């Protein structure tokens, strides 16, 4: 059994440890810090002589990973697993050693992170493969993915130490794989941080260009913003509304970049460069504040969005509006409650936070799958159903359908067995006559769902797809194959004719 470090505690890691412990005390008072310290000793011993590419001791990286997890309010097992996440892959110590010292749950999480390995973005095929891996891991325990995000975040922070080639690859992976998944999980803040860190390495020229563009604009807008904030605070005080904060905020850079691309690179056309965010106590207050703003300044038509009544698919809730301020400058406002704010920034991770603080009324209004997750955490026996639900909701517009051999085919939502058949193979699509879904015969226009197992019944004598299928297929692949089969029937010589010609030439 591991008890105490036999390595000398050096100042660098003492500082890191102190910082981590402080953050834990702030966000998760229920976490046992002695266990956390022991985990740091263990990891420091295991990574003893290893240095990061930056020249720092390796342990700094794993402590930094755990700091992110603690800030997100994750539980003890996850924080400890964050400290130990590189032990099995990079040191002589094994998963068994971790289990012996820190228990099954921690070992399970570390093992999950190790199994996930590095997700590499190398073209579309590998991309789908990585997504699948992520997706299957996520279905097992979402905390593994969150550790992976925290790990990646610190890797990006120290990316400058790597070769330009590696920098670019890691940055692209982040933009193509990690950020979209963080987005699906509603983890806005992590997503923004990952994207902004990756942006400068993935697209250095565009990054530099945007930097110079915004600096000027920011100065302009900020002047007005200060004034508006003051005016608003007076109004809110008059109305006797307690607000937690009224703050200006720069937009995430990468998100802004994508927006600029939509506006033909004209940054002058972007009105929400800086937004004022107002956090109040209750939902009725959100609407009252919206009214106060609209009475004071003229709202910009078409820019009032009620994401409280109609949350975004990832669960995001807020009221948005943009108004013309007294100088004709357009300013965006975002109004939300504290729990909406936490949810918006932390997404699924906010769940652990709330559990600790006790339940809030607004939890019920959050994403159903977050609630499912909570139920699952409370009742671990029943997790299969939760997993099914999570699979469906996290990948809202993609479904994952299994072949009888266990391969996964991913398709857009409401795809049918015909779409599935064409994605398996053109010939399977052309000669398909029926489908067995989860063991039952179903019609070919049945809508498939994530997790279904689909077996296509083929008739080898059948050469062409049925043109009627065009009325219900969802994928462009199926559509174009059916159409081209139709064309060949009328306009082109049949395969038999071509075969005959070739024979004659011989
Ligand atoms: Mn790592």
Categorize the per-residue pLDDT at 397 as very low, low, confident or very high, splitting at 50, 70 and 90.
low
Going from the Cα of 34 to the center of ligand 1, the distance in angstroms, rounded, reads: 22
Contacts of residue 34, Cβ cutoff 8 Å, sequence gap at least 6? none
90 a catalytic residue? yes
pLDDT at 64 over 80: yes
- 157-169: average pLDDT: 90
Answer with the residue of higher pLDDT: 125 or 241: 241
Point out the catalytic residue in the list 6, 34, 49, 90. 90
- pLDDT of res. 453: 81
Predicted pLDDT at 106: 96
How far is ligand 1, taken at its centre, from the CA of residue 61, in Å?
7
Q: How many Å apart are CA 182 and CA 146, to the nearest integer?
A: 9
pLDDT of residue 506: 43
Q: Among 286, 292, 376, which Cα is nearest to 340's?
A: 286
Q: Which residue has the higher pLDDT, 145 or 33?
A: 33
Instruction: Write out pLDDT tens, residues 3-22.
Output: 765 445 555 678 889 999 99
Most confident residue range from 106-115, 119-128, 392-401: 106-115
What does the DSSP assignment read for 89-110?
A: HHSS--HHHHHHHH-HHHHHHH
Rounded distance from Cα 68 to ligand 1 centre (Å): 13
What is the CA(86)–ligand 1 centre distance, in A? 5
Between the CA of 244 and the centroid of ligand 1 the distance, in Å, is 36
Closest by CA to 344, choosing from 376, 367, 369, is 367
The whole-number average pLDDT for the span 469-479 is 88
Q: How far is the CA of 15 from the centre of ligand 1 (A)?
A: 19
Quick one: pLDDT band at residue 337, thresholds 50, 70, 90? Answer: very high
Helix (H) or strand (E) holding 125: helix 123-140
Q: How far is the CA of 62 from the centre of ligand 1 (A)?
A: 6
CA of 162 to the centre of ligand 1 (A): 15
Q: Give pLDDT, residue 266.
A: 72
- DSSP β-bridge partners for residue 57: 51
Give the H or E element holding residue 434. Answer: strand 432-437
Whether the predicted pLDDT of 389 surpasses 60: no
Q: Which residue has the higher pLDDT, 222 or 79?
A: 79
pLDDT, position 355: 44
Q: Cα(471)–Cα(361) distance, rounded to whole angstroms?
A: 45
Q: Are 171 and 159 in contact (CB under 8 A)?
A: yes
Q: Do the Cβ atoms of 353 and 404 come closer than 8 Å?
A: no
153: pLDDT strictly greater than 90 = yes
Please tell me which residue in 6, 32, 89, 247 is annotated as part of the active site. 89
Mean pLDDT across the chain, nearest whole number? 79
What would the pLDDT profile of 208-221 be if each residue is shown by its tens digit? Answer: 888 888 777 777 77
What is residue 455's three-state secondary structure? strand
What's the pLDDT at 360? 35
Gap from CA of 60 to ligand 1 centroid (Å): 10
User: Who has greater pLDDT, 42 or 275?
Assistant: 42
Q: What are the structure tokens assigned to 402, written together?
A: 């299994």
Six token digits for residue 204: 């250095």
Please tell me the distance from the alpha carbon of residue 301 to that of residue 192, in angstroms, as a whole number. Answer: 28
Tell which phi-psi region holds residue 185, choosing left (phi > 0), alpha (psi between -120 and 50) or beta: alpha
What pLDDT does residue 438 have?
Answer: 82
Whole-model pTM: value is: 0.63
Higher pLDDT: 267 or 389? It is 267
Contacts of 310 (CB under 8 A, 6+ apart): none
CA–centroid distance, 80 to ligand 1, in Å, is 13
Residue 51 has pLDDT above 70, yes or no: yes
> In the prediction, which pLDDT does 21 show?
94
Q: How far is CA 261 from the centre of its chain?
A: 22
Least confident of 40-54, 55-69, 163-177, 190-204: 163-177
The pLDDT of residue 434 is: 94
CA 118–ligand 1 middle distance (angstroms): 10
* pLDDT, mean of residues 388-396: 45
- Strands 330-337, 243-250: pairing is unpaired
The whole-number pLDDT of residue 152 equals: 94
Over residues 268-273, mean pLDDT: 69
Q: Is the pLDDT of residue 392 over 60?
A: no
Higher pLDDT, 81 or 351: 81
Closest CA to 370 of 389, 357, 385: 389
Helix pair 33-46, 59-71: axis angle to 10 deg? 150
Annotation marks residue 206 as catalytic: no
Ligand 1 geometric centre to CA of 161 (Å)? 15
**In 3D, which of 392, 371, 375 has the Cα closest to residue 383?**
375
Check residue 361 and give its pLDDT: 35
pLDDT of residue 394: 47
Residue appearing with tokens 């920098």: 167
């Amino acid at each position: 059994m591991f008890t105490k470090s036999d390595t000398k505690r050096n100042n660098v890691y003492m500082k890191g440890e102190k910082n981590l412990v402080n953050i834990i005390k702030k966000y998760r008072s229920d976490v046992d810090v002695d266990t956390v310290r022991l985990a740091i000793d263990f990891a420091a011993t295991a990574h003893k002589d290893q240095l990061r590419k930056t020249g720092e001791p390796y342990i700094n990286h794993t402590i930094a990973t755990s700091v992110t997890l603690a800030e997100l309010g994750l539980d003890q097992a996850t924080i400890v697993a964050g400290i130990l996440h590189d032990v099995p892959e990079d040191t002589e110590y094994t998963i068994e050693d971790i289990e012996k010292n820190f228990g099954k749950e921690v070992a399970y999480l570390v093992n999950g992170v190790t199994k996930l390995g590095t997700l590499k973005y190398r073209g579309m095929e590998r991309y789908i493969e990585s997504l699948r891996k992520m997706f299957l891991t996520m279905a097992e325990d979402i905390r593994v993915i969150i550790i992976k995000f925290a790990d990646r975040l610190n890797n990006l922070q120290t990316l400058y130490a790597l070769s330009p080639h590696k920098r670019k690859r890691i940055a692209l992976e982040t933009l193509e794989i990690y950020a979209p998944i963080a987005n699906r999980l509603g983890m806005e803040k992590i997503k923004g941080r990952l994207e902004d860190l990756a942006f400068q390495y993935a697209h250095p020229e565009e990054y530099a260009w945007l930097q110079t563009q915004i600096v000027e604009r920011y100065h302009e807008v900020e002047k007005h913003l200060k004034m508006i904030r003051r005016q608003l605070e007076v109004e809110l005080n008059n109305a006797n509304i307690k607000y937690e904060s009224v703050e200006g905020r720069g937009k995430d850079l990468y998100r802004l970049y994508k927006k600029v691309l939509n506006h033909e690179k004209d940054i002058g056309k972007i009105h929400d460069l800086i937004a004022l965010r107002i956090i109040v106590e209750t939902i009725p207050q959100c609407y009252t504040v919206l009214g106060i703003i609209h009475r004071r300044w003229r709202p910009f038509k078409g820019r009032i969005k009620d994401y409280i009544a109609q949350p975004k698919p990832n669960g995001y809730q807020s009221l948005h509006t943009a108004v013309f301020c007294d100088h004709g400058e357009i300013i965006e406002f975002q109004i939300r409650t504290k729990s909406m704010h936490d949810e918006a920034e932390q997404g699924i991770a906010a769940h652990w936070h709330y559990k600790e603080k006790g339940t809030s009324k607004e939890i019920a209004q959050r994403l159903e799958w977050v609630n499912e997750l909570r139920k699952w955490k409370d009742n671990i026996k029943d997790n299969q159903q939760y997993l099914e639900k999570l699979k469906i909701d996290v990948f809202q517009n993609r479904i994952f359908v299994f072949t009888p051999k266990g391969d996964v085919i991913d398709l857009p939502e409401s795809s049918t067995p015909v779409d599935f058949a064409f994605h398996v193979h053109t010939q399977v699509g052309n000669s398909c006559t029926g489908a067995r879904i989860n063991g039952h015969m179903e019609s070919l226009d049945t809508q498939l769902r994530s997790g279904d197992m689909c077996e296509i019944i083929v008739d080898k004598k059948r050469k062409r797809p049925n043109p009627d299928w065009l009325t219900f297929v969802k994928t462009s692949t199926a559509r174009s194959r059916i159409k081209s089969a139709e064309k060949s029937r009328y306009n082109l010589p049949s395969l038999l004719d071509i075969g005959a010609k070739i024979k004659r030439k011989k």
